[in-house]
């Protein structure tokens, strides 16, 4: 309470800054180095790099929206189901003879509507995001199955199917460029718009945000709409990858998406998170999956490793926060 | 002063010269108190006099730095609330500790369930609970309904029953009537008298001096961390107790330049919220500081929040300058109003966000230029004399006084012409206080209007032009500060007279 305490010593604050900013990146470098040492010939190739990026695209794009939701202090468990529903909507629209572009936009729009529904339930009825989106997860999965007659839908081929194709000589699929482009946009929006500031404020301290005249409910609603829309863009890529709509696809993917955001340094308590962190988090998971396959490790080993990384990331966040508290 | 202490043999609980300091702040500087069996002993004092610290020490939540405590003649030094309860010292707080989903009987035996090896003997629980309720004269309360369905008064009774079931010998009631109706207050008094007749010792903490006069056998007054007087309530008057509570000299800490009030900036007409305020009308002019005095829980913060449209309004009207009609915090900021929250840490500031983000949040352009905002924040940091590493530092890392400067600076940065300040000097040290008083004086001098809530009377008397007193949700008329005395405000705040 006295004025003599000004700030933590520059050294610890510098260390913390590095940890916050580059922690996930250091993690990515470590796993890459590990696999590079163990399987240099097959891991460190241009083609493999392109494959890793391709495997990251769907999770990465959906995680952009999830980052907004989590920074605002919320959570969306329904994005896996939204992606499945999105692929089905796109496939059905294409079957009806709608142009590929409109079909893709239709998928994104339907996904955004799903997010809007969650957002409305959360803001209007003041229900817990966890519970609302848990319900939406089941309901939307059911809707996807109902719409498709519980069968995968394969429409005629269109240019959409090419979005996830690897280029020749290890060129990146256009879906990956889409992810990177959107990431830049969201990152800029978080830093250079009032909306971005409001998202952080709502997640950091909702009462302060209200006191300062931030339209808290509207910000939350928009965050869920955007979360849905980004999952919808993810659905376009998933559709391209599967070359069809599948109501059972992306089951459990929401957990990987949330994991990517958390590994990237966002706090589930809200108010904290970065887009670069999220992308790095998504990459870490793809690299681990890819590297384990190259090492010939079974699926279950991958799952244990990925789980361990998530816990390590949260532990790191906890340690960071504790040191911040101690210095406060 | 005659000695009203009782002989050590007679005392059930005896506290001698208790001292406690937090860092540089002396919270208790020698408090003595003794309570006899079958006595209701009132503990009174202004906010910040040290009552809650003393009670925390008594209940084992804090350890005293010096002094002695004896219970029934034996040394008493609880290491935690549980030990204190086992020893027979039980507190019933203002905020009740009831598990709403558990039944009445389960609540009464909570933490002391009869049974063996982890299995609860339900019949025994019900017997104990029933006995405790009978002792309190309320055997009619059903044992099996969830406690959450009972009224607040009945829930309070459940807590007292829990204390009895635990074998309580010293019962501490902390502001027990603050959320009770008049009728329930009467019932509580009857119950306390019943406990007294059964030989219980009761420490009764209250702001309401007429209650103290009506109920207590003896009283002890705390002021600035010291017990300054003790005596029989029959030998004194409410006036005298009020005098003892406030009797300290006012230091030359405050600044109040001569100033001329201008046009009306804020007009509140019979404003009422869902609970509080009950009825509040006021007129605030430019170039004026209007103080709202009253006890904690009188509804002053609620009034500010209702004006700022943070809380619901049931009836009445607010006019800000030329603006009337619908309101939201966003509109209020645009109309030139700003609110400083009384709770800096959980509402006033987003502690994880930077100084700059906290300063600029109410008014941002759709597109942000971070470097320009940082530069702007730097000028405010300089103007307000905030000691920090820079505008990017998390505001939670600052000291209390510097945090408050940022919270106040936010009002100024965002063009507030009417400042609603709720406890502007809470939790800041004396130097920062002086700065804040100077700032308020400067702002009023430059034609801004200030509405200030404070529980610290000298502060209101030293900085305000007029003072209005709020009691149980009703705001009294504003009077020029020259016509106010601490004593008279205290009387009005405690509802002792209908000033």
Residue A114 has what pLDDT? 98
- What percent of chain B stands above pLDDT 70? 94
Answer whether residue A314 shows pLDDT above 90. no
What is the rounded average pLDDT of the residues B273-288? 93
**Which DSSP symbol is given to B186?**
H
CB A85 within 8 A of CB A114: yes
The residue of chain A nearest to residue B414, with distances taken between CA atoms, is A212
Residue A126 CA to its chain's centroid (Å): 24
Q: Do A1 and B365 touch (CB under 8 A)?
A: no
Which residues of A are less than 8 Å from B410 in CB distance? 212
Q: Name residues 192-221 of chain A within 8 A of B (Cβ).
A: 192-197, 200-201, 204-205, 207-215
The residue of chain A nearest to residue B431, with distances taken between CA atoms, is A3
- Domain boundaries in chain B? 13-246, 264-493
- Domain boundaries in chain A? 39-313
Q: How close, in Å, is residue A229 to chain B by CA atoms? A: 22
What is the rounded average pLDDT of the residues A116-137? 96
Residue A13 has what pLDDT? 56
pLDDT, tens digit, 9 for 90 and up, residues A129-179: 999 999 999 999 999 999 999 999 999 999 999 999 888 777 899 999 999
Give the CA angle between residues A139, A143, A149 to the nearest 5°: 145
Answer whether residue A19 shows pLDDT above 70. no
Which residues of A are less than 8 Å from B362 in CB distance? 212-213
**Which DSSP symbol is given to A259?**
H
Helices (H), A149-215: 174-192, 194-204, 206-211
Residue A145 has what pLDDT? 97
The DSSP code sequence of B28-71 is EEEEEEEE-TT-EEEEEE-TTSSHHHHHHHHTTSS--SEEEEEE
Q: Do A211 and B348 touch (CB under 8 A)?
A: yes
CB A232 within 8 A of CB A110: yes
Give the CA angle between residues B490, B492, B496 to the nearest 5°: 95
H/E run at residue B204:
strand B201-205
- Distance between CA atoms of B130 and A209, rounded to whole angstroms? 48
- Distance between CA atoms of B222 and B230, rounded to whole angstroms? 9
Residue A27 has what pLDDT? 85
pLDDT, tens digit, 9 for 90 and up, residues A215-239: 999 999 999 999 999 999 999 999 9
What is the rounded average pLDDT of the residues A97-101? 95
Partner-chain residue, chosen from A6, A13, A192, that has the shortest CB–CB distance to B388: A6
Q: Which residue has the tokens 């089951």?
A: A251
pLDDT, tens digit, 9 for 90 and up, residues A227-271: 999 999 999 999 999 999 999 999 999 999 999 999 998 988 899
pLDDT, tens digit, 9 for 90 and up, residues B426-441: 877 666 788 889 999 9
Instruction: List, as own/partner pairs, every contact residues A169-176 make where C-beta atoms lie below 8 angstroms and the sequence separation is at least 24, other chains included.
Output: A169/A46, A170/A45, A170/A46, A170/A47, A170/A49, A170/A50, A171/A50, A172/A50, A172/A53, A172/A54, A173/A50, A173/A53, A173/A54, A173/A57, A175/A54, A175/A57, A175/A58, A175/A237, A175/A240, A176/A50, A176/A53, A176/A54, A176/A56, A176/A57
CB B81 within 8 A of CB B60: yes
Lowest mean pLDDT among A229-243, B40-54, B282-296: B40-54
pLDDT, tens digit, 9 for 90 and up, residues B107-136: 888 877 777 777 778 888 889 899 888 888
Of residues B5 and B78, more confidence is placed in B78
CB A198 within 8 A of CB A189: no
Q: Do B351 and A1 touch (CB under 8 A)?
A: no
Q: What is the mean pLDDT of chain B?
A: 87
Q: Do A2 and B23 touch (CB under 8 A)?
A: yes
Q: How close, in Å, is residue B178 to chain A by CA atoms? A: 25
What is the rounded average pLDDT of the residues B400-404? 85
| Crossing angle (nearest 10°) for helices A216-242 and A174-192 | 170
State the distance between the two ends of chain B, measured CA to CA, in whole angstroms: 31
The SS3 call for residue B413 is helix
Residues constituting chain B: 499
Partner-chain residue, chosen from A8, A204, A213, that has the shortest CB–CB distance to B350: A204
Phi, psi of A288 (to 5 degrees): -60, -45
What is the rounded average pLDDT of the residues B97-104? 88
CB B472 within 8 A of CB B299: yes
Q: How far is CA B314 from CA A210, B189, B270, B272, in A?
A: 20, 32, 10, 5
Give the CA angle between residues B432, B434, B435 to the nearest 5°: 65
Q: Which two tokens stand for residue A89?
A: 């909507």
Phi, psi of B392 (to 5 degrees): -90, -5
Measuring CA to CA, which residue among B223, B231, B289, B282 is closest to residue B443?
A: B289
Which residues of A are less than 8 Å from B390 in CB distance? none
CATH superfamily to which B264-493 belongs: P-loop containing nucleotide triphosphate hydrolases (3.40.50.300)
Answer whether residue B148 shows pLDDT above 70. yes
Rounded to two decimals, the pTM is 0.77
- Say if B13-246 and B264-493 have the same CATH topology: yes
What is the rounded average pLDDT of the residues B318-330? 88
| Crossing angle (nearest 10°) for helices A275-294 and A174-192 | 150
Measuring CA to CA, which residue among B57, B60, B56 is closest to residue B80?
A: B60
Instruction: Specify which of A132-136, B27-31, B169-173 reaches the highest per-range mean pLDDT.
Output: A132-136
Q: Do A213 and B400 touch (CB under 8 A)?
A: no
Which residues of B are less than 8 Å from A273 in CB distance? none
Answer whether residue A15 shows pLDDT above 70. no
> Residue B177: which pLDDT band, with cuts at 50, 70 and 90?
confident
- Distance between CA atoms of B330 and B309, rounded to whole angstroms? 9
Answer whether residue B180 shows pLDDT above 80. no
- What percent of chain A stands above pLDDT 90? 70
Measuring CA to CA, which residue among B73, B68, B31, B66 is closest to residue B52?
A: B31
- Distance between CA atoms of B138 and B411, rounded to whole angstroms? 52
Answer whether residue B381 shows pLDDT above 70. yes
Of residues B212 and B496, more confidence is placed in B212
Residue B276 has what pLDDT? 87
Residue B429 has what pLDDT? 67
Q: Which residue has the tokens 């629209």?
A: A93
**Which DSSP symbol is given to B295?**
-
Beta-sheet strands, E only, within B238-389: 264-272, 280-285, 288-294, 315-320, 337-340
Residue A56 has what pLDDT? 96
> Residue A310: which pLDDT band, with cuts at 50, 70 and 90?
confident
Q: Domain B13-246 maps to which CATH number in 3.90.1300.10, 3.40.50.150, 3.40.50.300, 3.20.20.70?
A: 3.40.50.300
Which residues of B are less than 8 Å from A195 in CB distance? 366
What is the rounded average pLDDT of the residues B360-382? 94
Residue A328 has what pLDDT? 39
Residue A120 has what pLDDT? 97
Which fold is adopted by the domain A39-313?
ABC transporter involved in vitamin B12 uptake, BtuC (1.10.3470)
Q: Best interface-test mutation with A: which of B353, B362, B386 has the largest number of A CBs within 10 A? A: B353
């Amino acid at each position: 309470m006295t004025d003599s305490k000004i700030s933590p010593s520059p050294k610890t604050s510098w260390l913390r800054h590095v940890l916050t900013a580059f922690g996930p990146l250091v993690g990515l470098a470590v796993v890459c180095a590990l696999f590079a040492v163990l399987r240099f010939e097959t891991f460190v190739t241009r083609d493999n790099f392109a494959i890793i990026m391709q495997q990251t695209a769907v999770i990465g794009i959906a995680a952009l929206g999830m980052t907004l939701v989590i920074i605002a202090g919320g959570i969306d468990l329904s994005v896996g189901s939204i992606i499945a529903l999105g692929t089905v909507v796109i496939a059905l629209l294409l079957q009806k003879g709608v142009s590929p572009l409109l079909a893709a936009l239709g998928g994104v729009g339907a996904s955004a509507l799903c997010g809007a529904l969650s957002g409305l339930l959360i803001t209007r009825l003041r229900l817990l995001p966890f519970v609302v989106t848990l319900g939406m997860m089941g309901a939307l999965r059911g809707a996807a199955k109902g719409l498709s007659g519980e069968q995968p839908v394969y429409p005629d081929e269109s240019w959409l199917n090419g979005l996830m194709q690897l280029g020749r000589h290890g060129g990146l699929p256009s879906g990956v460029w889409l992810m990177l482009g959107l990431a830049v946009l969201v990152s800029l929006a978080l830093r250079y718009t009032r909306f971005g500031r409001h998202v952080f404020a709502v997640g950091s301290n909702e009462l302060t945000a209200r006191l300062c005249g931030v339209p808290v409910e509207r910000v939350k609603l928009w965050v869920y709409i955007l979360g849905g829309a980004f999952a919808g863009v993810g659905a376009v890529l998933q559709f391209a990858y599967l070359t069809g709509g599948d109501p059972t696809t992306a089951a459990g993917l929401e957990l990987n998406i949330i994991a990517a955001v958390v590994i990237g340094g966002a706090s589930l308590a809200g108010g904290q998170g970065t887009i670069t962190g999220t992308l790095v988090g998504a990459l870490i998971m793809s690299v681990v999956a890819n590297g384990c396959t190259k090492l010939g490790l079974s699926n279950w080993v991958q799952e244990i490793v990925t789980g361990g990384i998530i816990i390590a990331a949260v532990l790191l966040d906890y340690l960071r926060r504790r040191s911040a508290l101690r210095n406060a | 002063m005659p000695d009203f202490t009782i002989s050590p043999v007679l005392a059930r609980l005896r506290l001698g010269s208790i001292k406690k300091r937090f860092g540089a702040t002396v919270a208790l500087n020698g408090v003595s108190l003794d309570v006899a069996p079958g006595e209701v002993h009132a503990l009174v004092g202004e906010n910040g006099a040290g009552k809650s610290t003393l009670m925390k020490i008594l209940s084992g939540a804090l350890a005293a730095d010096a002094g002695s405590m004896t219970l029934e003649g034996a040394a008493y030094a609880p290491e935690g609330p549980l030990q204190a309860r086992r020893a027979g010292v039980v507190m019933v707080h203002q905020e009740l500790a009831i598990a709403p989903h558990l039944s009445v009987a389960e609540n009464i035996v909570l933490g002391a369930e009869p049974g063996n090896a982890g299995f609860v003997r339900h019949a025994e629980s019900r017997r104990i609970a029933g006995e405790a309720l009978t002792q309190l004269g309320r055997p009619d309360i059903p044992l099996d309904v969830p406690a959450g369905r009972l009224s607040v008064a009945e829930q309070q009774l459940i807590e007292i029953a829990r204390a009895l079931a635990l074998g309580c010998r010293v019962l501490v009631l902390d502001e027990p009537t603050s959320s009770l109706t008049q009728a329930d207050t009467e019932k509580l008094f009857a119950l306390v008298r019943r406990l007294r007749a059964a030989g219980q010792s009761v420490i009764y903490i209250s702001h309401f001096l007429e209650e103290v006069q009506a109920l207590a056998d003896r009283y002890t007054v705390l002021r600035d961390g010291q017990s300054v007087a003790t005596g029989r309530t029959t030998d004194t008057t409410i006036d005298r107790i009020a005098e003892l509570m406030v009797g300290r000299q006012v230091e030359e800490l405050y600044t109040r330049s001569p100033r001329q009030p201008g046009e009306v900036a804020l007009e509140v007409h019979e404003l009422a919220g869902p609970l509080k305020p009950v009825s509040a009308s006021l007129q605030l002019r430019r170039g004026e500081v209007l103080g709202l005095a009253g006890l904690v829980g009188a509804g002053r913060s609620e009034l500010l929040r209702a004006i700022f449209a943070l809380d619901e309004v049931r009836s009445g009207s607010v006019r800000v300058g030329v603006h009337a009609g619908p309101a939201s915090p966003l509109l209020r900021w645009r109309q030139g109003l700003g609110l400083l929250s009384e709770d800096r840490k959980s509402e006033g500031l987003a502690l994880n966000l930077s100084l700059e983000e906290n300063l600029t949040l109410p008014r941002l352009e759709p597109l942000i230029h971070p470097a320009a905002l940082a530069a702007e924040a730097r000028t405010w940091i300089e103007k307000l004399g905030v000691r920090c590493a820079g505008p990017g530092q998390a505001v939670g890392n600052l000291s209390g006084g510097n945090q408050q400067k940022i919270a106040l600076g936010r009002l100024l940065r965002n063009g507030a012409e009417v400042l609603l300040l709720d406890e502007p000097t809470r939790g800041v040290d004396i130097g920062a206080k002086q700065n804040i008083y100077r700032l308020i004086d400067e702002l009023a001098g430059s034609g801004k209007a200030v509405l200030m809530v404070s529980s610290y009377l000298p502060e209101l008397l030293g900085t305000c032009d007029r003072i209005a007193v709020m009691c149980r949700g009703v705001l009294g008329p504003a009077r020029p500060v020259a016509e106010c005395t601490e004593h008279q405000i205290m009387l009005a705040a405690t509802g002792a007279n209908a000033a």
